[in-house]
Amino acid sequence: MPELSGFRKWGHRWIEVDRDGLPALHSAFVCGKKYCNANASLWQFQSAKTRCTVLRATFIALSESRWLRAVAERSRLGQRVSTRFVAGKEVADAIRAAAAMNQIGASVSIDNLGENVTNAEEARASAQLYHQLLDEIAADKLNANVSLKLTHMGLDADEKMAYENVRGLVAKAASMSPKNFVRVDMEGSPYTQRTLNFVHELHRVSSNEDSVGTVIQSYMRSAERDVEKLLSERIRIRLCKGAYKEPEDIAFQKKSEVDASYVKLMKVLMKSGVYHGLATHDETIIKEAKAFATRENIPRNAFEFQMLHGIRRDLQQSLVKDGWGMRVYIPFGTEWYPYFMRRLAERPANVFFIAKNLLRK
Ligand code: FDA
């Protein structure tokens, strides 16, 4: 095996790469140059259908590779590129990023990156870190809540233990003054029903009512039915399009269908009288939400827009400036790889921009 690490020439510049980083950087350039249109989102490749489907499927498949994950998360280059979407490795990094967002008028949801934990010890450590997060948010009086994944709390290792971990966190959030809130993120379809059932169960504990909510993905054909059921119990929902690769029988595949489903559900949520989150960077949909709120006399603080850390900061700031609720989702931690790959899947142009930025440094 040739020695790959060291300084490499790329264009007119020299950059330092470690042994694991070079193939990754090379793939980034090939994918980026070949496929990326700077302004397109994943879904906008519909006209070049095959290309879009292949790219999205490729990134999502890569996001599930345990081997690549181990290599990337260890490599120095990987750690450098992850900063595009990830606030840092430590709780202190997330707290600092949250304070900066609060300063510009946006609230925050902090996510400790990690998923598909396979042993009880790791799951308990993940839950413990969320306890620390809730304490630090309170100590610093931040306008922030937390988002977590059930598989990070150990769902694949021991379902009962995972539920106990989350139960403890929601109870803690509910007992704080002021109360805090735990959002249970939505993962791939094997976990959808279990996530919904568990959130319903948690929410039925009367002291938990304002302290737990979940996520609906508009690409799921079951989304409308699930929204109806959550709303019947006034459970807070984050509406997003969905970030996983799902088969056609359970999820819409076309952008037009996913968007139409989003807009339809968004209107139902906005009129429900419950405080929900509209998670999207899609400007057309955001415009439609604003127009709908104005038409229906829905106050600007009766719901919130939500966006990811590092994506469309311009839009985040302009929504805050115009008085709309805005929450930024801040991920941190060492297990950034699956999250990062899903962000590439959403917008392949990111590959090229990240590679370009690396060369600028
Ligand atoms: P779309 O993909 O159509 O993109 C619209 C525009 O947004 C693009 O043209 C581009 O300008 C910009 N954009 C979108 N993604 C970008 C990216 N990665 N980089 C740069 N620009 C980008 N999913 C899930 O399955 N479960 C969950 O729990 C969550 N949670 C969640 C929380 C929050 C706060 C957000 C914002 C998103 C999620 N998601 C999620 C991810 C979500 O399902 C979806 O994959 C992404 O938000 C991308 O979809 P958009 O709605 O932004 O639209």
Q: Which of 20, 111, 156, 185 is catalytic?
A: 185
Residue 289 in any domain: the answer is yes
Of all protein residues, whose CA lies closest to atom 47 belonging to ligand 1?
280
Tell me: the pLDDT tens digits for 197-207?
999 999 999 99
Predicted pLDDT at 286: 98
Of all protein residues, whose CA lies closest to atom 51 belonging to ligand 1?
280
Q: Evaluate whether 323 touches 62 at the Cβ level (below 8 Å).
A: no
| 249 has catalytic annotation | no
For residue 355, give the amino acid letter.
Answer: A
Residue 9 in any domain: the answer is no
Question: Are 307 and 180 members of one domain?
Answer: yes
Total number of domains constituting the chain: 2
For ligand 1, say whether the CB of 56 is within 6 Å of any of its atoms.
Answer: no
Pocket test for ligand 1, best of 45, 286, 346, 357 (most atoms within 8 A of CB): 346
For ligand 1, say whether the CB of 279 is within 6 Å of any of its atoms.
Answer: yes
- Spatial separation of the C-alpha atoms in residues 117 and 192, rounded to whole Å: 17
Q: How far is CA 36 from CA 81, 128, 310, in A?
A: 18, 41, 19
Mean pLDDT of the chain: 86
Question: Are 98 and 245 members of one domain?
Answer: yes
What is the helix (H) or strand (E) element at residue 331, kind and residue range? strand 325-332
Predicted pLDDT at 31: 46
Predicted pLDDT at 53: 67
Q: Note if the bond before 178 is cis, omega within 30 degrees.
A: yes
Residue 33 in any domain: the answer is yes
Tell me: the pLDDT tens digits for 305-331?
999 999 999 999 999 999 999 999 999
Find, among 131, 169, 111, 81, the residue nearest to 306 by Cα.
111
Q: Is the pLDDT of residue 14 over 80?
A: no
Q: Residue 113 belongs to what domain range?
A: 91-335
Domain of 123, CATH number, reads 3.20.20.220
